[in-house]
Chain A
Amino acid sequence: MNLLTACLSALRALATNWLRSMLTMLGIIIGVAAVITMIAIGGGAQQRVEEQMKSLGTNVMLVLPGAQTTGGVRLGAQTGQTLTEEDALAIAAEVPEVQATAPSLRTGVQVVAANANWSTAALGTTADYLEVRDWPLASGRNFEPAEQAGSGKVVLLGQTVARELFGDADPIDQMIRVRKLPLQVIGVLSQKGQNSMGQDQDDVILVPLSTYRNRIQGMSAGRIKRVGAISVKVREGQSMAEAGEKIRELLRQRHRLQSGADDDFSIRNLTEMLQAQEESSRVMAMLLAAVAGVSLVVGGIGIMNIMLVSVTERTREIGLRMAVGARSRDILGQFLIEAVTMSLVGGAIGIVLGMLATWGIGSLAGWQVLLSAESILLAVGFSAMVGVFFGFYPARRAAALLPIQALRHE
């Protein structure tokens, strides 16, 4: 008996009891649909974290000033102003693992273009900031050394600010005003998207640190070199932890802290935080898929149950087939193909249902989903395996019947 004939007769056998076949397949249908949907949701979450990772820049650490203690009252993180531009330069120069550093100061400002205005964050920093954050320019150019040294009246716009102030027009060489200070737009940053907190990273303008300090902030003459944060990019392939430890040692030394005294700064390894988040979302995705896999196994048991009933019901048919010349392996093949056909048809329906569910969740709940070809192949392969595995025992029982007993079965 060739495979095509066997498949056709299997389909016919399933069609004669179509309601029963449908109910049996329901387990597989739900299982396959669940596996596909769960993998899509898990994959979407993972993809989201990966995108955030990319927008952060690879191997980035953030050095922040520590708590300030005034008369016994500790004022919390970032209240102190212990970090300086020199610290940033020293880290870049003396820690071999570090590729680049960028000190920065930040404040909220109102920016005004010809006939539009917008409230955003102004970030005073250096040209290296773009390298540290892996943040290329969409158009224009970065700060020149002369502009950095001489408080040049230039500005880089984030995508959101460029859109709000200039719409579709090209902002390059246009003038904007920040606190009455006119600045020339020399470049527009590329799209960065949301960060892990959901903040729009494109809602920002970048000015040289000296410009920020002298013309926008315009104060604190005594603490002229203080900065709010230092972004550090560690070289590819170097240990973040090791680099962090060396930066800590260097800063303690530079700040002349006694051994035993608390750090007056803190180092945040953002990449590590995101990696932990990615790891947990991957574990979550695997758990979801495993739970869905359990329902596939339950569906397989349903198939086994029905195949056992079917073998009992059709014992006389088996006897007749043996009498007219079917060998044991013909009978085995027939029932195995029936079980596999059932699970594959169920699998096919499950794929369609799973894709619909994935699409529905993606568009109705607004979750990020990722439908992958691998998950579909996995579901198909798994459902065929379920058919073979759970179909084998009933099929072998059918094949092991003695012809005379099967034929005389009442």
Chain B
Amino acid sequence: MALIEARSLVKTYRMGDQVVQALNDVSLDIAEGEFVAIMGASGSGKSTLMNILGCLDRPSSGTLRLAGEEVEALDGDALASIRNRRIGFVFQQFNLLPRTSALDNVELPMVYAGIKPAERRKRALAALQRVGLGERAQHTPAELSGGQQQRVAIARALVNQPSLILADEPTGALDTQTSDDIMRLLAGLNAQGMTIVMVTHEADIALWASRRIVFRDGHIVEDRPQPPHRVAEAAAA
């Protein structure tokens, strides 16, 4: 059974009197342990797909199963619970709470999962150590570099032990050197078995993935495995 089973997903938006078809009959299976890069020009539908996969948005029609669970019948609270348990998000703009320590930022998903404070602290520290920021736990985002902020965001995505990490342009706001560090971290997580779906429009970032899907005008125009030629390097790191 695939981790993600999407069948005939359609998403239409109404912009004034125009109807925009952001997704047009998209079917997709993603297995556990895959590292998928989704590419395409802006407006091609890749972000819409990410939002639907992340249970942040609902498809206009079609079905989506996440780890065997039918998603589109669920109400808002149940979707919140799925996001909380199953999915870790990494955003282009990091989306950390300002004036809040890295540790507290990482604890946030566990607060909504109802985990006790002592346990939260322990697990948040472990997650920060996993991304190499163990000794910066008390720093606020303003005191961290872009790359470090994205690491905090990755630690936050990991902390509830999700089945899936959705990364939306994770390196879009970072320089090349830092981008490589972040991709190495993600590839390392993938090597440890984490399923990752990443949206990017940079071809060299997409090279880190083991499968590449290209979108154009709401359709998948290309979907092929690729040799993850830098994974060996990442695993070594």
Q: How far, in angstroms, from A12 to B98 measured CA to CA in the complex?
A: 11
Q: How far, in angstroms, from A388 to B51 measured CA to CA in the complex?
A: 34
- A5 near B97 with CB under 8 A, answer no
- A324 near B156 with CB under 8 A, answer yes
Within 8 Å CB of A403, what residues of B?
Answer: 56-57, 83
Q: How far, in angstroms, from A358 to B108 measured CA to CA in the complex?
A: 46
Q: How far, in angstroms, from A253 to B111 measured CA to CA in the complex?
A: 90
Within 8 Å CB of A321, what residues of B?
Answer: 108, 112
Within 8 Å CB of B111, what residues of A?
Answer: 1, 5
- A404 at the A/B interface (Cβ < 8 Å)? yes
Minimum CB–CB distance for A396 against chain B, Å: 14
Within 8 Å CB of A1, what residues of B?
Answer: 111-112, 114
Contact of A324 with B99 at beta-carbon distance under 8 Å, contacts A5-B111, A404-B56, A407-B56 already known: no
Q: How far, in angstroms, from A330 to B84 measured CA to CA in the complex?
A: 13
Contact of A323 with B77 at beta-carbon distance under 8 Å, contacts A1-B112, A317-B97, A404-B57 already known: no
- B112 near A328 with CB under 8 A, answer no
Please provide the chain B residues from 41 to 90 with a CB less than 8 Å away from any CB of chain A in the complex.
51, 54, 56-57, 76-77, 80-81, 83-85, 89
- A323 near B97 with CB under 8 A, answer no
Return the CB mask of A313-340 against B: 1 if under 8 Å, else 0.
0001101111111111110000000000
- A16 at the A/B interface (Cβ < 8 Å)? yes
Q: How far, in angstroms, from A402 to B51 measured CA to CA in the complex?
A: 12
Closest to B112 in A: A325
Q: How far, in angstroms, from A321 to B113 measured CA to CA in the complex?
A: 12
Minimum CB–CB distance for B215 against chain A, Å: 18
Please provide the chain A residues from 95 to 153 with a CB less than 8 Å away from any CB of chain B in the complex.
none
- A323 near B112 with CB under 8 A, answer no
- B40 at the A/B interface (Cβ < 8 Å)? no
Within 8 Å CB of B113, what residues of A?
Answer: 325
- B176 at the A/B interface (Cβ < 8 Å)? no
Minimum CB–CB distance for A403 against chain B, Å: 5
- B109 at the A/B interface (Cβ < 8 Å)? yes
- A325 near B97 with CB under 8 A, answer no
Contact of A328 with B77 at beta-carbon distance under 8 Å, contacts A16-B99, A321-B108, A323-B89 already known: yes
Within 8 Å CB of A12, what residues of B?
Answer: 99-100
Contact of A325 with B56 at beta-carbon distance under 8 Å, contacts A1-B112, A16-B99 already known: no
Within 8 Å CB of A319, what residues of B?
Answer: 95
Total cross-chain contacts (CB, 8 A)? 61
Closest to A319 in B: B95
- A324 near B108 with CB under 8 A, answer yes
- Which of A5, A16, A324, A328 is close to B83, meaning CB atoms less than 8 Å apart? A324
- A323 near B54 with CB under 8 A, answer yes
- Which of A16, A317, A327 is close to B76, meaning CB atoms less than 8 Å apart? A327
Please provide the chain A residues from 287 to 343 with a CB less than 8 Å away from any CB of chain B in the complex.
316-317, 319-330
Please provide the chain B residues from 150 to 178 with a CB less than 8 Å away from any CB of chain A in the complex.
156, 160
- Which of A320, A329, A407 is close to B97, meaning CB atoms less than 8 Å apart? A320
- Contact residues on B (Cβ < 8 Å of other chain), bracket: 20 to 34
The size of the chain A interface, using a CB distance under 8 A, is 22
- B81 near A325 with CB under 8 A, answer yes
Q: How far, in angstroms, from A408 to B153 measured CA to CA in the complex?
A: 17
- A324 near B84 with CB under 8 A, answer yes
Q: How far, in angstroms, from A403 to B55 measured CA to CA in the complex?
A: 9
- A325 near B84 with CB under 8 A, answer yes
Closest to A400 in B: B76
Within 8 Å CB of B109, what residues of A?
Answer: 324-325
Closest to B88 in A: A324
Return the CB mask of B180-220 against A: 1 if under 8 Å, else 0.
00000000000000000000000000000000000000000
Q: How far, in angstroms, from A262 to B113 measured CA to CA in the complex?
A: 90
Within 8 Å CB of B76, what residues of A?
Answer: 327-328
Within 8 Å CB of B114, what residues of A?
Answer: 1
Q: How far, in angstroms, from A252 to B70 measured CA to CA in the complex?
A: 99
Minimum CB–CB distance for A409 against chain B, Å: 11
Minimum CB–CB distance for A337 against chain B, Å: 14
Minimum CB–CB distance for A21 against chain B, Å: 14
Minimum CB–CB distance for A331 against chain B, Å: 10
Closest to B107 in A: A5
- Which of A320, A326, A330 is close to B95, meaning CB atoms less than 8 Å apart? A320
Within 8 Å CB of A404, what residues of B?
Answer: 51, 56-57
Minimum CB–CB distance for A80 against chain B, Å: 87
Within 8 Å CB of B97, what residues of A?
Answer: 317, 320
Minimum CB–CB distance for B194 against chain A, Å: 17
Within 8 Å CB of A316, what residues of B?
Answer: 95
Q: How far, in angstroms, from A303 to B51 measured CA to CA in the complex?
A: 34
- B89 near A324 with CB under 8 A, answer yes
Contact of A326 with B77 at beta-carbon distance under 8 Å, contacts A404-B51, A404-B56, A407-B56 already known: no
Q: Which 10 A-B pairs have the closest CB atoms?
A: A325-B84, A325-B112, A324-B109, A404-B56, A327-B80, A404-B57, A327-B77, A320-B95, A403-B56, A326-B112
Identify 9 residue pairs between A and B in the complex whose beta-carbon atoms are under 8 Å apart, listed by A's number: A1-B111, A316-B95, A320-B97, A324-B84, A324-B112, A325-B109, A326-B80, A327-B81, A330-B112
20 further A-B contacts with Cβ under 8 Å, apart from A324-B89, A325-B81, are A1-B112, A12-B99, A12-B100, A320-B95, A320-B97, A323-B54, A323-B95, A324-B112, A325-B112, A326-B80, A327-B76, A327-B80, A327-B81, A328-B77, A330-B112, A403-B83, A404-B56, A404-B57, A407-B56, A407-B95
Interface residues of chain A, those whose CB is within 8 Å of chain B, are 1, 5, 12, 16, 316-317, 319-330, 402-404, 407
